[in-house]
A and B are shown apart, each in its own frame.
Chain A
């Protein structure tokens, strides 16, 4: 958890916070990925994990 603390608009955050926010973004990307995968699978009738049709 290296690095110094972060200061944003008068609030000082501990070093973990920036990594926490990064994880938030990665989770959102994951959600978008699942949406795209689900829609692709639903609309094409293919895409069964891992990459085979049903």
Chain B
């Protein structure tokens, strides 16, 4: 089984699976006869199906309950939070959501807003630039045959396996020599280059950009840059969205690199800021627990909305990603 053929298999299977369930399908058929309409487990007994549901329910509770706790706790003030031990913690007490929100947004002259804007900026710019760089590189590797091309691709794939955490410290040494530490660039530049994005772009380009189209455009006299921006990028919009999304989520979640590189709190990300707030209890005895909880919830919401809105794209990215 070779990697590329499995890639194709999987994405098509995935597509068919999604298309096989159109919303217009009649819903209330009691005993469907046609076997091909039925899911995989249609041969199962009733108890079997119950068992499946029970198992799914168990995992569902495990996955969702902690987030439920976070949501409920964000509506409580700190006194209430500590005064509701045990299972009471899973249900609402005095409803202080708005007060908590005000507290988070105004604490320390609204530094939380600053962190949010920073995070949006780092993730947005980083993901955008890395997507453009990755599309260009993926297109170059996929559609041109130049000397060193397969070595280049080998490097890209090998980079997946290089532990990112270990690179952070050497990078810090280099950046401190270059005077970039504690500047915006120290966080932005590393996010511009993402080997996995290049690999995804190459795979998408292999499967979606026809060589004939490129040749035809060249015959018509289109320059290579115009060809790339006006034709290739347009054909690869959906692939580009996946690459952008995965890069954005990665940047939003990054912690180690900003922790090393950034000193001044005005440049921090949400993750760094929450870490610092959580640490204040130990450092100076100021207990900001309910601020951290509210802040955690706030920093998750934009990401969750973004991911749900773009679910279509990142699912296909995962399908491809699983086969690298």
Q: Do A and B come from one complex?
A: no
Which residues in B have some Cβ–Cβ distance to A below 8 Å? none
Interface residues of A (CB under 8 A from B): none
